[in-house]
Amino acid sequence: MQARFEQKGKKNNKGKSFLNFFKSREKMNSFKNLKDFPAETTDEKFDGNVPGTPNSAIEIKDSGLEAEKLDLSPSKKSSEALNSIDIDSLISVEKDPVLWRATLVYEVIGEQNAESFKIRSNYPWHTVQSLLTLENTRLQMELYQVKGQQIVLLRQIFKILDFGYHNYLDETEDKFEQAKHLPKYLRSCIETVMSDSFFDSASFIGSLSHDDQIKRYLETSKFVDEQQEFRLRAVIQLQPLRFHQAVEFNDLSLSEVLPYLCPHQDLPEYDTLLAKLEERTMKSGFLVKRIKEHITKLRLAIEAGEIPVGYTSLRSLLPNNEAFRTILMRVLSAELHQGYSLDKFPKCTTEEPDLFIPKNSTLEATLTDKIGDFSRIYKKLHEKNTSSRLFESAAKSLARELKSELLRERGYQLESESSRLGI
């Protein structure tokens, strides 16, 4: 209990900067941007009655003494309160799969992502989309590693909070009935830290604080150094976990329980873990932005007709007649759209504009020879006034041959490093 009073009485300037995150509900709810999740309830209920005794009480009579009543009613601890607030008690795939996929999924998705990259990097050829997906998967490997590190730190942080939570239950028996409000708050804290879209909306600034100076600072600041920007974002994302630095809590539903959560003797370790989590959160935000920018740039470049480094365009290998090339790609796309193993080949739509073959690969040489032989037979394809009927007939013939080669299982390996993919 001593730890609690030491924290509540502590006054420092640093704490005041976090005060606006604990505004009362009548004003701006400090957690407006955090998603609401219903508090968990337990299925077990104890009515407090002892067999053979009504109204949860036993009368004790003694000569010369007034009758006394021994109260055997259950503890005042709310039936909605959790027995623990460690990570696994707050979030599980069974109880809330949506929240789990937004947070704890990063403990397992890294391995799945690595396997997906291995499969995709062995495709003998690519569509525009599979090429973008391959590059996105490669870049996400580093991101998911950082996300996994965030979860490790959050687990350590919540072990400390869980210890403080049990102190609260032991010392107060939840007489303030605040334990039931805590799970929603803590789940929102976790989701906010792990969120990749917390700053997607420009309106978030308006809900962060009533302090006009801070608001103007956030709205008008533009940083030359990106690290400054993402550090500020990380500070804001971790703000709800810095309740131990607040001098008071205006949200009365949490004002008694929060001071217990970080015992005084654990403050140094807690602050160290928060600092590490801030660094990981900052890096996560930076990586998300970098991935989006890189993939967008790559997609626009391909759409503009540029060929990714390390690849040859199938369209460019075809006879030099754009009308025929367009018909051939349409016919070939329809042929390749039929079912085949996605573990060995990329998925095709019915209207692929082009396919990309690894440079200097056996497949590139084979396709070049096939198309060369075809061009020598269908010499009229190079003439501008060739009939569309001939185009259709020739395209179907060549498409069947190309499909046979494209779907032949040769065990190709990409001969260019995927990490070099670019324009």
59 strand-pairing partners:
69
- Return the closest-CA partner of residue 158 out of 22, 6, 262, 235: 262
What confidence tier does 387 reach under pLDDT thresholds 50, 70, 90?
A: low
Q: What is the pLDDT of residue 263?
A: 83
Structure confidence by residue, pLDDT tens digits, 222-251: 655 677 888 888 999 999 999 898 888 777
Query: How large is the average pLDDT for residues 62-90?
Result: 59
Q: What is the pLDDT of residue 369?
A: 95
Structure confidence by residue, pLDDT tens digits, 196-208: 887 765 444 444 4
Beta-carbon contacts of residue 408 (< 8 Å; ≥ 6 apart)? none
pTM higher than 0.85: no
Q: What is the pLDDT of residue 384?
A: 60
Report the alpha-carbon distance of residue 169 to residue 167 in Å, rounded: 5
pLDDT at 380 over 50: yes
Backbone angles phi, psi at 193, to 5 degrees: -65, -40
Q: What is the pLDDT of residue 7?
A: 44
Tell me whether residue 94 is exposed, middle or buried, using C-beta atoms within 10 angstroms of its C-beta: 0 to 12, 13 to 18, 19 or more. exposed
Structure confidence by residue, pLDDT tens digits, 100-118: 999 999 999 999 999 999 9
pLDDT at 165 over 90: yes
Structure confidence by residue, pLDDT tens digits, 294-346: 999 999 999 999 999 999 999 999 998 888 999 999 999 999 998 677 789 99
Yes or no: say if 31 and 22 are a contact pair by the CB < 8 Å rule.
Answer: no
Q: What is the pLDDT of residue 371?
A: 95
Query: How large is the average pLDDT for residues 405-421?
Result: 56
Give, in order, the Cα–Cα distances in Å from 423 to each of 126, 309, 336, 349, 394: 16, 6, 26, 24, 33
Q: What is the pLDDT of residue 103?
A: 97
Yes or no: say if 275 and 157 are a contact pair by the CB < 8 Å rule.
Answer: no
Mean of pLDDT over the chain? 78
Q: What is the pLDDT of residue 250?
A: 75
Query: How large is the average pLDDT for residues 135-151?
Result: 96
pLDDT at 182 over 70: yes
CB atoms closer than 10 angstroms to residue 150: 21
pLDDT at 46 over 70: no
- What proportion of the chain, given as a percentage, has pLDDT over 70? 69
Between 48 and 185, residue with greater pLDDT: 185
